[in-house]
Amino acid sequence: MQLNKTIICKDGFEMSVQAHEGAYCRPRVDNAERYEAVEVGYPSEQEPLLMEWAENKKSPTGTVYGWVPAARVSLVCAKHGGIVSGELPAGIPYIKANNDAFEWSEELREGIKKDCPLGVNGD
């Protein structure tokens, strides 16, 4: 099993996002076709959108975040301007940074609607 490369967002925010048999994810298997929840680890700064899942809330940049919904990971990436580099587990939309914006895929919009009752762009 090979770990995913660290996600680096346009604004410099970084985080590890993993899903495999030994990670806090759902399903908890290697090479799933799609993961509903994943393990986020060691973000470069405290991210309020992730704190609910922090294993150690006193050390937000030195801990893992278990069973984070896939849509929440997408929302964090979007908040930080999209992804410049790195890898995500299967089933998490890869929101690539674009010069000034990124595209909201239908899959992302639906996932965020489920995870965030306030919706996206006033939905």
Which pLDDT tens digit goes with each residue over 66-107?
999 999 999 999 999 999 999 999 999 999 998 655 555 565
Q: Quick one: pLDDT at residue 113? A: 59
Report domain extents, the chain: 7-115
DSSP per position, 64-107: EEEEEEHHHHHHHHHHTT-EEE----TTS---B--SS-----HH
Any idea what DSSP says for residue 1?
-
- Is this model's pTM higher than 0.85 or not? no
CA-wise closest residue to 118 among 100, 109, 35, 69: 109
Supply φ then ψ for residue 15, to 5 degrees. Answer: -160, 150
Query: Are 24 and 39 within 8 A, CB to CB?
Result: yes
